Amino acid sequence: MAFNEMIIYHGSNSIINKPIFGYGKKYNDYGLGFYCTQSLDLAREWSVTENNDGYVNKYKFKFDDLNILYLNKYNILYWITILLKNRTFTIRNNIAQRGKDFLLKKYNLDISSFDVVIGYRADDSYFSYAEDFLNNSLSLKRLEEALKLGDLGEQIVLISEKAFNSITFLGSEKVESKKYFPLRLRRNAFANMKYRTYLSKKNFDDIYLSDLMKGDN
């Protein structure tokens, strides 16, 4: 494999030998795109539901001439703000509403000029951590730590037509729900267990969203 190539996987309920640019759900983490991972095991877990088997689709991805945004090199607040623009958060209090406006104003990052976005996946409980931060019940430091729980790694999202044309289908495999759905649940349960210990640890120097807004006044 050349240094400008990688193998990526996409978990789905079907075989996708040619992803279609502009097709899919608009309300995913980073908007409309084709969501992949370098982890075969994670793709297997994401491909199944409790009662339905899935497929892992395998691709060769050539990225030497693509404009790639490595989102995890930015302040985590940019990641939160991209989620705010694409997904629906539960607003539980006044701080959350003001915080949403604050983040969208100060940490807005336009990803439309990029071909690919690589960053955290807000899967299952991980999205709830982002909600807790927005609702001022989780500090910024604890959020950054929580996003490493469960070993989800990073997702690779193709967002431009050029990126879609840079992958080659290599095949697919059938994934059994009865084997991989329990693994997905176990990964999520482990992350939640560790997360509960974080909520009980509050340091005097922890910074919450309300503190960030005070500093902006």
Number of domains the chain is built from:
1
* Cα torsion angle, 90, 85, 142, 190, sign: positive
State the pLDDT confidence band at 198, using cuts at 50, 70 and 90: low
Q: What are the pLDDT digits (tens) for 44-78?
A: 999 999 999 999 999 999 998 999 999 888 999 99
- 10 Å CB burial of residue 190 (0-12, 13-18, 19+) is middle
Query: Which of 34, 55, 61, 59 is closest to 43 using CA atoms?
Result: 55
Helices (H), 54-115: 76-86, 94-106
Q: What is the biggest distance separating any 2 CA atoms in the chain, rounded to whole angstroms?
A: 54
Which residues form the domain of 22? Answer: 5-215
State the pLDDT confidence band at 214, using cuts at 50, 70 and 90: confident
Q: What is the pLDDT of residue 1?
A: 55
HSE (side-chain half, CA atoms, 13 Å) at 163: 24
Q: What is the pLDDT of residue 194?
A: 75
Task: Give the Cβ contact number of residue 74 at 10 Å.
Answer: 15
The two structure tokens encoding residue 113 = 């000029």
Query: Which residue shows structure tokens 């877990």?
Result: 45
State the pLDDT confidence band at 120, using cuts at 50, 70 and 90: confident
For residue 3, give every residue at least 6 positions away whose Cβ sits within 8 Å of its Cβ, in sequence order, or none: none
Q: What is the pLDDT of residue 195?
A: 75
Q: Which amino acid is at 12?
A: S
Measured between alpha carbons, how far is 4 from 208 in angstroms, rounded to an integer?
A: 40
Overall pTM surpassing 0.85 (yes/no): yes
